[in-house]
Structure 1
Amino acid sequence: MIISDDWDELVEWLDKRFPNRSWRPEQAIAYYADMRERFDMSDVWTSVFAMYEKGQTFAPNGSQLIADTIRVVRHAAVDELYRGLPETAGERPPVEGWIKKRFGVNMTGTELIARIHKERGPCKTKTCDVCYRVKVGADNER
């Protein structure tokens, strides 16, 4: 939840960084109303900092801010879901039935790794069978 003082601080920060900002006071109030119940302020700040660091030269409008904050929240949720899983390093699950207990569905280790890669992207290592197979298969199709 976002409190109004935090939102005011964000609006002031945007004013200083984006002097050509197109938010009128009534727009800032409307964006606050749209976001206050849906998001945590830290996620909104993460989104704004990311846009600023990319070199965006104008303040984000409400829909851009909401969309990018959703991206930040989803990314954090996926990272939390898979944090520390042996499968993220291409290793096998520790015990039989562990995948079903953790994710609520039966999958083979390879299917779980494929799911992880679909949601997080391919591994950066060369030790993952799934990534290697996908890369080799894609190279052979050319």
Structure 2
Amino acid sequence: MNLLIVVITFFTMEGITWLTHKYIMHGFLWVLHKDHHDKSHSGKMERNDYFFLIFAIPAIGMLYYGSLNDFSPWFYIGLGVTLYGFAYFFVHDIFIHQRIRIFRNTKSPYLLGIRRAHKQHHKHTDKGEGECFGFLWVPVKYFKMYIQKR
């Protein structure tokens, strides 16, 4: 049962991420997300990186609270959110944006589709326009682009 909670939470986070990205990051918190699109920051860190804390703090709270209560479902929800955060970091920051220059050459249609959709998202530099707000699941056309090339 606990594993099921982790898995459901992990996949639910994709929807939460899409909604958060579209309506919060491209909405009232655009002030934090803007530099991720226009590269107006100097150095390796962006104001956008504060979203790590915005998402990590509630996850840590759920892990802590759940661990105090005989590893209640809150712990496993926090674990699912945390695992999604790790996946986000590895795929978004390392694979897509190459903050650490590894995993540059892949032939995976799935990973190439995610990378292409993210590049499409970054074409838009203001908060009002945009597409491809998802992270692990993006429109099928981006995957098809690479499946047909094989």
TM-score over 0.5 (shorter chain):
no
In the superposition, the TM-score normalised over structure 1's length comes to 0.31
In the superposition, the TM-score normalised over structure 2's length comes to 0.30
Q: Which has the higher contact order (CA 8 A, sep 6+)?
A: 2
